[in-house]
Structure 1
Amino acid sequence: MKKLVYLGLGSDLGDRRANLDAAIGRIAELGVIKAQSSFYETEPMEMAQQSGAPQWFLNCALVLETELMPKQLLGRLLEIERGLGRKRPRGAAAEVKTPRTIDLDILMFGSSVVEAPGLVIPHPAMHLRRFVLEPLAEIAADVRHPVFKRSVREMRDALPKDSGAVKKLAQ
């Protein structure tokens, strides 16, 4: 059975646009991309201290129609990340946000709620992140969060004004 899945993509290491384009190409092999947002340059949030100023992220959102189940989709997204050079720290270091070539997040999986080891859907912090909600609102503004029962637009509009700079890039 096909489901609509809402994905968040980001990159802040290397050629960010090429990283996102490569990820989108591989994600297209997992189903049908029904919508893609514009690209947004976004201020790094929750990042570990680094020498020098961290590079801003390039983010976008996708709507993917797929027959994969949530755990299968997660596995395939992690394979795509590894294939594009993403190194995931293990243990305590895994909690520290560091630069990455690509970051692929399942934001929502239809109206499903999933709580399993290594997988929580909807994404537990999506409602707090302008860098997620701004691109997602462009392509799925009226989609309702299955737990909070609020639309993507409502969650975005409820964010504090100082919740991170987001700049839509010209196509």
Structure 2
Amino acid sequence: MSPTTAPTADERIFVGLGANLGDARTTLEAALAALAALPGTRLLGRSSFYRTAPVDAGGPDYLNAVAELRSSLAPEALLDALQAIEQQHGRERPYRNAPRTLDLDLLLMGGQRQHSARLTLPHPRLHQRAFVLAPLAELAPGLIIEGLGPVAPLLAACADQAIERLDGR
């Protein structure tokens, strides 16, 4: 699929959500509503919220989740929409891994693989981060990530990363 081609109707799209500034829970709930309101997009589910320490950064703990979508938006258009939602919530990018009011990462679009200056699919570090893998495994326990394998052993490999599930769903 090219950056301008829309996904097929059966492709599972997963978006990672995170925040560690302000009222993170309220911000993530608002971001989920904004995802559901995107044109040609349906929010199919979301994981529990998880608390995690920042990775490769300082600042307060993060609140994280993963959402599953279906969307007719092409990958680059969906990325643009995610970044617009971040901006609506005051996202700033003063330096790499800076604390943030909202972070939305396009993790997976079906089995698609893509690498461009703006977007890499699957997300290039998702297999290294418990804050992505734990909510992803909750939402889609049998998921096999193209080029990486099943989500469960990937999560097991991140067992040294502290993560706390906050709400059972």
Q: After TM superposition, is the score higher than 0.5?
A: yes
**Alignment pair present for 1:72 and 2:116:** no
Give the whole-Å Cα distance in 2 for the aligned partners of 1:97 and 1:170: 26
- Counterpart of 1:39? 49
CA shift, 1:158, in A, is 2.3
**Alignment pair present for 1:21 and 2:22:** no
CA shift, 1:170, in A, is 2.8
CA shift, 1:88, in A, is 2.0
CA shift, 1:4, in A, is 1.8
- Of the three residues 84, 87, 90, the one matched with 1:85 is 90
Q: What SS does the aligned partner of 2:63 have?
A: strand
Q: What SS does the aligned partner of 2:44 have?
A: strand
Give the whole-Å Cα distance in 2 for the aligned partners of 1:28 and 1:46: 31
Moved over 3 A (4+): none
- Counterpart of 1:153? 152
Normalised by the size of structure 2, how large is the TM-score? 0.89
| Structure 1 or 2: more helix by fraction | 1
- TM-superposition CA deviations, 1:125-146 (whole Å, max 9, x none): 0000001100110011211111
CA shift, 1:154, in A, is 2.0
- TM-superposition CA deviations, 1:86-142 (whole Å, max 9, x none): 0123xxx3xx21110000001111010011111001000000000110011001121
- Of the three residues 157, 162, 166, the one matched with 2:163 is 166
Give the whole-Å Cα distance in 2 for the aligned partners of 1:25 and 1:120: 25
Percent identical: 37
**What is the total number of aligned residue pairs between the two structures?**
158
Give ranges in structure 1 of 5+ residues lacking alignment.
49-53
- Counterpart of 1:136? 136
Aligned 1:108-147 pairs, distance under 5 A: 108-147=108-147
Give ranges in structure 2 of 5+ residues lacking alignment.
1-7
